[in-house]
Amino acid sequence: MSTDPNHISSRHAGVGQSGQDNLVDLVRQLTRQGSHLAEQQLNLIQAEVREATNDLKVAAGGMLTAAVVGISGLGVVLMGLAYLLGDAIDNLGLGTLIIGVVALIVAFILYSSARKKMDAAHLSPERSRRTLERTPDAARGDLTSGV
């Protein structure tokens, strides 16, 4: 049998076939196409979730790499600033404390910004969800609902 949904098999084109046979064949085709549509929708949802997850993995890996390299460089720079400030105010301990507090404030600001970006990441497949919500109406022939 042809996979073309508009194809009518030759056994139903002949004279003498009842309309009931045609109806049964049409229901079979509709069921097959409905199953195929549901499978395609599931594949689309899986692809969207996989894409969003992969994007988050790449971003997290980049952030981790930057953190490892940045922490070592930042430690050296902060110690240098602490020595310079301690030398300028003639108190190495106070200079180190001031630099440490400033570094913690900057770290908190950066963390808050990154947290907001992570919270804004979309992990739900919105397009597929909307399509699935409209599917029953589309099956009934109402192609305008939810648009």
Domain ranges of the chain: 18-135
Query: Is residue 5 over pLDDT 60?
Result: no
- Tokens 């070592």 locate to 72
Query: Is residue 84 over pLDDT 70?
Result: yes
Output phi, psi for 7, to 5 deg: -80, 135
Does the pTM surpass 0.75? The reply is no
Model confidence pLDDT, tens digit, residues 92-146: 999 999 999 999 999 899 999 988 888 777 666 666 667 667 666 666 666 565 5
Supply angle C-alpha 98, 100, 105, rounded to 5.
95
Residue of higher predicted confidence among 10 and 85: 85
